[in-house]
Chains A and B, each alone.
Chain A
Amino acid sequence: MKVIVAFLLVLVSILAVPAVSRAQPAGTSAVETFSDPALEARARNLQRQLRCLVCQGESVDESGSPFAADVRHLVRQQIAAGQSDQQIEDFLVARYGAFILMKPPLQSNTWLLWLAPFLVLGLGGAVAGLAIKKAASREG
């Protein structure tokens, strides 16, 4: 019980900082934002899924490069024009190639990429199961 109480105290002291809220749209002219929080959230989410092609390992959302600014502008233009997320991604892929997507598409030449970790997990699990069975039979 002491453990729980101690942990509770620590956790409360950590989390009792004033509850923070999500990013406030800056509302200044030079930084593009939607006044509608739902649209803004969609834009931010999309921006996070897109790779800045001129940076290393940064998304369009994070990067300060002019390229990223252009893509952010495009995303917002398309959202304003009523396009769906999928349509916007397709548009950007047509324009810049699939490399721009942080999340590789599932298609004929990427299924192995998506499946490999779980294949290894399954295969490893099976081998481990056999090893354990063998060890158990030795014990018995």
Chain B
Amino acid sequence: MTTLTESLNPGALTSGRLPRMAEPGILIGAAIAGLTIAALIANGNIALGVVLAYVIFLITIEIVARIVEGPRQAADRRARSLIVGAFVLALIPLGSVTYEVVKNGMARFDLNYFSMSMRNIVGEGGGAAHAITGTLWVTGIASLISVPIGLMTAIYLSEYGARSKLAQSITFFVDVMTGIPSIVAGLFAYSLMAMLFGPGTVSGFAGSIALSVLMIPVVVRSCEELLRLVPNELREASYALGVPTWLTIVKVVVPTAISGIVSGVILAVARVIGETAPLLIAAGFTASLNNNPFSGPMMTLPVFVYDSYAHPGIPPQAYLDRAWAGALTLIVIVMVLNLTGRLIARRFAPKTGR
């Protein structure tokens, strides 16, 4: 693709070209100019300097390219500069979030944090073992509920539904479901439990139900998308061998898409593992370890983070440190999940030659 673009680049045939080094040169010049101006007028404010440098670069390259290469090439360069700029801009919040979380989280990211709960702990010390366990339980059960339902629905939509009324309405309502505010999901699970088991019943399982409501549509969307990408030739080959539809799906279609499905499921887990509002309402709050998801409140990491931040005791810093360490733990869990998911997917995916 790249070679194709370059060899067919029409600019070379019809108009002048800027020398290869022109763009980097202008970039360096703009950077120096921008930072100098910032140093002179704003006491060396780096952010202002970078913004100025970018603007100077955009203007200069636009003028130079317009003169040498003509308006079409200038537009091309402008678009590229803007697109690369957008990408760099988006890295700023990611970098900033990571930096803040790692910087503040390392203070309590120690062995005690993972081996102790908050039972009988006041002030400093303690850990989030109970919250980590709770998060694993709640998210695990939510996945056990959501993945089969989501995957089967996706199979229905891509393999059976075709363009039926039912399939269309399911697709539509799954999209609507992605927009359910997380707090509404929590309220729903809470009152469902209240209806079934009496008022005020909170448990890890109730939290799982709330998370499932949020997770199912994500699983459906990504699985459906991936099942549709499985080439029809594979299905037809299987049918031609006399394999029934359901076996074709189980043995051919799903395994072909398995790598994508796994990473889709992992992304769905990542999406709900950090949910706070529904768990606050549905899974409750405790300082002790609870390994029974069907009885009694169960602490989860996001709730632990939120609570440590929102209702600190004395000294407040100890609570804040635990909150940041919890945030760091959440991100690490999600990263590990992502990586394992991708590795498993790669390991088990059939070789498609694509």
A binds B: no
